[in-house]
Structure 1
Amino acid sequence: MGDLNARTGSKDNDTIVGKYGEQITNTNGQRLVDLCHGLSLKIMNGFFPHKNIHKFTWTQPTRKLSSIIDYIIMKQRSRINNLDVRVYRGSECGSDHHLVVTRLEINYRRKISRGEDEGNNYTLVERKYNLDSFRDESTQFLYKLRLATKLQQVQKEQSARELYNEIKTCIHEAAEEALGRKRKLQRNSEWWTKQVEEVVREKKRAYHHWLSTKKDEDRKIYVELNRKAKRQVERSKNERWEKTCEEVEIKKALKESKNKKAAGPGDIPIELIKNAPEILLELIKELFNKCIHGDQVPEDWNLGYISSIYKKGDKKLCQNYRDITVISAMGRL
């Protein structure tokens, strides 16, 4: 994907260039087609029918020029299905190039093996809670109340693994009820206030209006609103930074543990333990004592998620990678 300044044209029954592209070609375009032919690639822009305003990726209104020079390129044989490629003019970023968006269908299922001796697999399902809501004291109180109520029913007279599984279940249930799941499209930036949202929305309306009219006076209105939006964003960021500096108070309990780190096996983020009531710490202490006195440690503590991180050099050589193992957050305590 990229701006290649190449115009590849259109062809019928071709494996590289589709029939829905533009009619003009240039030298860079022919070079790109030859490169794709040698690497068994295909240029996806021309394989989907759209209006011209949704095909041309670059426009020059003053000279009335338009062309397709930004491309989505994929392997000809791939497990990833490309469902569509089109241009969206409404997304503005101060460029004469328009946003090119592709829709992909990826059949992805991640499995982690427990080991050859056990001979079974399980699917890793990560639960992401809305941990940012812990900044609200009422949410902290609700989480502690729900968790304390559930933990009071936990029986200490059981094995370490059974005790751990009960504690884990209580934590997840309390987090689900008090925090809820984190939305995929949730805006986490704390500086994004209602004032910022309103001025950005007003700027976008002006931009869309200018796209439809192409009048100089409408463009001036958009430029002025764009400057206003940038000033508002900068002001909001500075205010949030000053407030954050004033709120720096570090709790002594679990001070060494860092937030927003991978939870590891068990899927319990360290924030859920830091904000828990005292009864959870008492049960964790009981759990640790059972393990120290010879009881079997919880199964999650024996697992680790291993990821290979590329360092430098030839990517085909194993020595150019380093491994990172993520263990259970509770087990790290």
Structure 2
Amino acid sequence: MEDFNAKVGNERVEDVVGPSGIGTVNERGSRLIEWCQVNDFTITNTWYQNHPRRQWTWKNHGERSRNKIDYILIQKRFRKAVKTSKSLPGADCDSDHIPVMCKFQIILKKLTKGNANPKFQMDSLKSDEKLKDKIAVAVHNKYETLKNISEVEELGSEMKNSLNEVIDKNVPKKD
């Protein structure tokens, strides 16, 4: 996998780049910022002021210069869930890059139940012969109108709608 090698700098850019970056923007950094703006992403580790040792993510081997070129990108709508974002320079990994860590606090919201379908007194069909005959005639009449439909999906949905309509009109609801 290839590196971005993008420096986004320390100047704030809308809701994409925060003020805690390092250095100045390079060409790849401006392309990354542009992509984040188009796709509603934010670069998390530019928003949190950390200890100076936890700012950089890559050090040039021959020089003493350190850069922040590795980022965590998240959608803007989740930005408030991020509590910290920092690099871990003491991590023992086989790379010249420093791993970047991000802590989230997820708040779950309670889902409300939708309107349940009304319950019907289906037991009344067993005992009431008049109701049973009335529903049988109504279903037969509804299905007579469906003989002209040749497509299976349309026929299935129409049969279901017809049966639900007959039940709604004729079968009493439970209290």
What band does the TM-score fall into relative to the shorter chain?
Answer: 0.5 to 0.7
How far apart in 1 are the matches of 2:94 and 2:8? 26
Query: What does 1:25-174 correspond to in 2, within 5 Å?
Result: 25-78=25-78, 81-108=81-108, 116=116
Aligned equivalent of 1:24: 24
How far apart in 1 are the matches of 2:79 and 2:26? 31
- Is the CA contact (8 Å cut-off) linking 1:11 and 1:17 kept in structure 2? yes
Unaligned runs of 5+ in 2: 120-175
Deviation at residue 15 of structure 1 after TM alignment: 1.5
- Is the CA contact (8 Å cut-off) linking 1:3 and 1:71 kept in structure 2? no
- Counterpart amino acid of 1:78? F
Q: Note the alpha carbon deviations across 1:90-120, whole angstroms, 9 max, x for none.
A: 2111111111000111113687x8x94699x
User: TM (normalized to structure 1)?
Assistant: 0.31
The 3 A distance-change label for structure 1 pair 79 and 48 is: closer
Unaligned runs of 5+ in 1: 120-333
SS at match of 1:34: helix
The 3 A distance-change label for structure 1 pair 118 and 52 is: farther
The structure having more radius of gyration, on CA atoms, is: 2
The 3 A distance-change label for structure 1 pair 110 and 4 is: farther
Q: Note the alpha carbon deviations across 1:268-326, whole angstroms, 9 max, x for none.
A: xxxxxxxxxxxxxxxxxxxxxxxxxxxxxxxxxxxxxxxxxxxxxxxxxxxxxxxxxxx
- Counterpart amino acid of 1:54? R
- Counterpart amino acid of 1:43? I
User: TM (normalized to structure 2)?
Assistant: 0.57
The 3 A distance-change label for structure 1 pair 13 and 70 is: closer
- Is the CA contact (8 Å cut-off) linking 2:45 and 2:72 kept in structure 1? yes
How far apart in 2 are the matches of 1:78 and 1:104? 9
How far apart in 1 are the matches of 2:4 and 2:118? 51
- CA-based RMSD of the aligned residues comes to 2.9
Query: What does 1:1-333 correspond to in 2, within 5 Å?
Result: 3-12=3-12, 14-78=14-78, 81-108=81-108, 116=116
How far apart in 1 are the matches of 2:79 and 2:15? 17
More helix by share: 1
Q: Note the alpha carbon deviations across 1:29-51, whole angstroms, 9 max, x for none.
A: 01001111111211111111123
Find runs of 4+ consecutive structure 1 residues off by over 4 angstroms.
none
How far apart in 2 are the matches of 1:49 and 1:80? 16
The 3 A distance-change label for structure 1 pair 65 and 39 is: same
How far apart in 2 are the matches of 1:3 and 1:44? 18
How far apart in 2 are the matches of 1:116 and 1:36? 42
Deviation at residue 60 of structure 1 after TM alignment: 2.9
